[in-house]
Amino acid sequence: MIDLTGKSALVTGASRGIGKAVAVRLATQGADVAFSYRGNEAAAAETAGEIEALGRRALAVQADVTDPEAADGLVKTVLEAFGKIDILVNNAGITRDDLIMRMSVEAFREVVETNLFGAFYMTKAVTRPMLKAKAGRIINMTSVSGQAGQTGQANYSASKAGLIGLTKATARELASRSITCNAVAPGFVLTELTKDLPEALQAQITAATPLGRFGTTEEIANAVAFLASDEAAFITGQVLAVDGGLVMM
């Protein structure tokens, strides 16, 4: 049984989808959970309500992780509320899909700034308090697209591949203080984004996945909860694929 009682977690981009599932799962295992959201206040309130219903403290903070000052402010707000941050989950991410020859420079930059720079800013902001505590778990949400590349996702694939490099470098830098850093690489997961994919594409994805189905947000959250726990204390610098066997490396 994963026990996160007494732990404080911060999850970026957790008003819905995978981020919400992660926040709720960490709370289910006993953690107090703070999370950021970009603009959907109603969804954020719903997530906070679910965390509080589990008997844990919840803190929803509107913040844009692409702004380093906002990332610093987010960490300070959580430290003031909870006194510490034991777990950071860098989940905030966006897509702006297009073929390279049609992709605007802005679309490339926006995705990399959110998915990769955002994770760097957040990691940088929690490093000092975690080093002082001589403990911590950092979990980055990468993707099968970062491992194998994806047509129409040069920006997203580049940002998620970059996250894998950031994960390994962070793991090496912080290991001496018992801080681990790992990544979770989801495959195709049933969310608001994927449910609108054309049926033919959904069938193609399912056929390419050895387990023959899409994953669920809860299955991704299970992996995050494990990596956040004491059971994963000797695991760092790793990429855990939760993709039904889609990418085998």
Q: Which structure tokens are listed for 155? A: 């920006």
Q: Write the CA distances from 162 to 10, 39, 52, integer angstroms.
A: 21, 26, 35
Residue 228's Cα: distance from chain center in Å? 12
**C-alpha triplet 231, 178, 66: angle, nearest 5°:** 95
The catalytic residue among 156, 167, 174, 183 is 156
- Answer yes or no: are the C-beta atoms of 75 and 125 closer than 8 Å: yes
109: Cβ contacts below 8 Å, ≥ 6 apart: none
Determine whether 156 is an active site residue. Answer: yes
Backbone angles phi, psi at 58, to 5 degrees: -125, 145
Q: Which structure tokens are listed for 194? A: 């994927």
- Residues with catalytic function: 156
